[in-house]
Amino acid sequence: MTDFLKNSVSRRTLLQAASVGAVGVSPALRSVVYAAGSDAPEKKEVKIGFTPLTDCASAVMASVLGIYQKYGVKIIPTKEASWAGVRDKLVNGELDFAHVLYGLIYGVHLGVSGPKKDMAVMMTLNQNGQAITLSKKLADKGAIDGAGLAKLMAAEKREYTFAQTFPTGTHAMWLYYWLAANGINPMKDAKVITVPPPQMVANMRVGNMDGYCVGEPWNHRAIIDGIGVTATTTQDIWKDHPEKVLGTTGEFVKKYPNTARAVTAAIIEAGKWIDAGLQNKNKMAETIADKSYVNTSVDAINQRILGRYQNGMGKTWDDPNHMKFFNDGTVTFPYLSDGMWFLTQHKRWGLLKDHPDYLAVAKQINQIDLYKDAAAAAKAPVPKDTMRSAKFMDGVVWDGKDPKKYADSFKVKA
């Protein structure tokens, strides 16, 4: 019997013992027992789409290391070319799950980034580790950070073009927040285009954009290639921000709850393995640099996952808030307030015309109960609260308590 099944069986025994006074049993615990009377995954093999980025690592390593075996489900990673492709394949069922942008899942659920379909976030895959790159041409004119960019744009009037990876995605929201915090309205003062992550460096090389926001290794790659500089990291915009998630459809979770839980548990454990030490991080970097995954050099990946940063202009620093995949379970927990924040920004930038019921939407999408069961199987601690607060680069605090007021409070908006 697998550890996963033993865990579930022991909890089922507890349930039976408590059946007389079941009022005191939490819904999360009750949900462990399914009508079929078995916690074995209904689907024995799943496809997980990923885009070539460093933060696909926990989904890939859950497969490469064979962690999935103890949970009774085989994980097959499939490489995808763009976030739009990931969206389409998730929606039509070609993919069972995906390493995917947080805001993409929320956008599809509300019908503002493609066909409307009920979606689900099983867990957060990573925090931190993205960046905003400005072209070397801009940097040579003094635009090496937000203030420098604003000054240059005011002095040299022309159309400035910036790229993000998907209209409702995380990179778009980091880019917009950073520009706005520096007095640049991304909707009025610049042209914003969508470019798939692996194509960012090539597009900057031929002059298609002045700057972009993307995940690693495509910021560090621009430095290695001498075409761009790191103007800011996303952890400097929001320390320990949520980034990619394990996404699927609401329909999949309803049909295959045991499978969803098993896959989540395996990836939680893979994230724990990555964060366990230097040796594991280096092995991960060597693995995902391969052409079948990210397709880049190991040195483009392995520095920033250890927090060793350079900006491409001679500045180097050690960043304790580098990309993390587990961090004692604080990374992987799908906080409701995290999902709600993306909705506030979708409203701010005109992607949503009206205020949604922020908390209700987050509760529909983020599978808190299934996550807790998966975390128990993977022996991962679970935070006590489903909400958390954060202070942003401009000093504004987000805690999820009044999302409507927060969304309306920004001076720079669409």
Residue 264 belongs to a domain with what CATH number?
A: 3.40.190.10
161, containing H or E segment: strand 161-164
What is the C-alpha end-to-end distance of the chain, expressed in Å? 56
DSSP string, 28-51: HHHTTS-TTS--S-SSSEEEEEE-
pLDDT in tens, 248-270: 999 999 999 999 999 999 999 99
Q: Which domain holds residue 111?
A: 3-126+242-309+323-334+359-383
- Report pLDDT for 34: 33
CA–CA separation, 364 vs 203, rounded Å?
Answer: 38
pLDDT digits (tens, 9 = 90+) for 197-230: 999 999 999 999 999 999 999 999 999 999 999 9
- What is the model's pLDDT at position 130? 98
Strand 211-215 and strand 130-135: the pairing is antiparallel
User: Phi and psi (nearest 5°) for 189?
Assistant: -100, 0
- 233 within some domain: no
Virtual CA dihedral for 22, 23, 27, 33, nearest 10 degrees? 10
Structure tokens at 245: 């998630």
What does 66-95 look like in DSSP terms, one character per residue?
TGGGGGT-EEEEEE-S-HHHHHHHHHTTS-
The one-letter code for the residue type at 252 is F
Q: What is the pLDDT of residue 378?
A: 98
Domain contains 269: yes
Does residue 159 sit within a domain? Answer: no
Question: From CA 383, how far away is CA 373, in angstroms rounded?
Answer: 13
Q: Report pLDDT for 30.
A: 33
The two structure tokens encoding residue 148? 């420098």
pLDDT the model gives residue 191: 98
Tell me what pLDDT residue 38 has: 81
Residues of the chain with pLDDT under 70: 1-37
Residue 144 lies in a domain: no
Q: Is residue 216 part of a domain?
A: no
User: Could you please report the per-residue DSSP string of 296-358?
Assistant: S-HHHHHTGGGTEEE-SSS-EEE-TT--BS-TTTTTTS--HHHHHHHHHHHHHTTSSSS---H
Quick check: is 348 in a domain? no
Please state the pTM of the whole predicted model: 0.91
Is 99 inside any structural domain?
yes
Indicate the number of domains in the chain. 1
Long-range contacts made by residues 305-308, C-beta under 8 angstroms, separation at least 24?
305/54, 305/129, 305/216, 305/281, 306/278, 306/281
In a domain, 372, yes or no: yes
